[in-house]
């Protein structure tokens, strides 16, 4: 039983680390001209993981998957909290910020549930709300970013639940 528990944690860590790699892709800070900030990185993680959660919500009939995704959710926010403490945020700041981050995550998750049905303008507003660019314009042109996440959403919906459990996220944005 302990062995199975360690395996699940390893799966969570593998998936989290792969999502982290996707979110740290230099393409976001070069081609898409996003600001390299803590907030942007967290929101990129949230957007990536939301598509995976939405996809697997459809497939989650097995208790193993439900348990895995709850543990992944807990692991995600524990990692963010640990990173905030490493950077030097105090207890009061961490608690306040975590509450705001959880609210942001759920807002992003709700939007991603209907992402494929949203119009280009709605997507542009969504990305402008959560991801800050280096461009000083009021409303940046997020077309390349929208195209990236359109492809990522399709990629996620093609994944099998077992591939997600293994952390197999070999997404290539061509």
Report pLDDT for 53.
Answer: 87
Q: Taking Cα atoms as reference points, which of 171, 130, 107, 135 lies closest to residue 31?
A: 135
Q: What are phi and psi of 147, to 5 degrees?
A: -60, -40
Q: List, for residues 70-123, the tens digit of each pLDDT value.
A: 888 999 999 999 989 998 888 888 989 999 999 999 999 999 999 999 999 999
Average pLDDT taken over every residue of the chain: 85
Per-residue confidence (pLDDT) for residue 108, from 0 to 100: 97
C-alpha count within 13 angstroms, C-beta hemisphere, residue 122: 9
pLDDT (mean) for 58-81: 81
Higher pLDDT, 33 or 141: 33
Q: Alpha-carbon distance 70 to 90, whole Å?
A: 26
- 156 pLDDT exceeds 50? yes
Q: Is a pLDDT exceeding 70 seen at residue 138? A: no
Is the predicted pLDDT of residue 6 greater than 50, yes or no? Answer: no
Distance CA 129, CA 142 (A): 11
Nearest CA-CA partner of 127 in 54, 15, 35:
35
């Amino acid at each position: 039983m302990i062995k199975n528990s360690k395996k699940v944690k390893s799966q969570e860590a593998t998936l989290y680390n792969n999502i982290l790699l996707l979110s740290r892709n230099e393409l976001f800070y070069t081609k898409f001209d996003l600001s390299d900030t803590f907030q942007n990185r967290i929101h990129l993680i949230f957007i990536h993981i939301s598509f995976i959660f939405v996809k697997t919500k459809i497939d989650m009939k097995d208790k193993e998957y439900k348990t895995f995704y709850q543990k992944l959710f807990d692991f995600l926010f524990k990692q963010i909290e640990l990173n905030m403490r490493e950077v030097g945020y105090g207890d009061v700041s961490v608690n306040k910020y975590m509450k705001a981050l959880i609210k942001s995550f759920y807002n992003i998750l709700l939007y991603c549930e209907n992402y494929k049905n949203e119009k280009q303008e709605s997507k542009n507003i969504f990305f402008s709300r959560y991801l800050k660019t280096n461009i000083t314009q009021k409303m940046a042109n997020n077309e390349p970013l929208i195209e990236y996440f359109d492809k990522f959403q399709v990629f996620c919906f093609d994944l099998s639940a077992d591939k997600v459990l293994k952390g197999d996220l070999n997404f290539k944005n061509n």
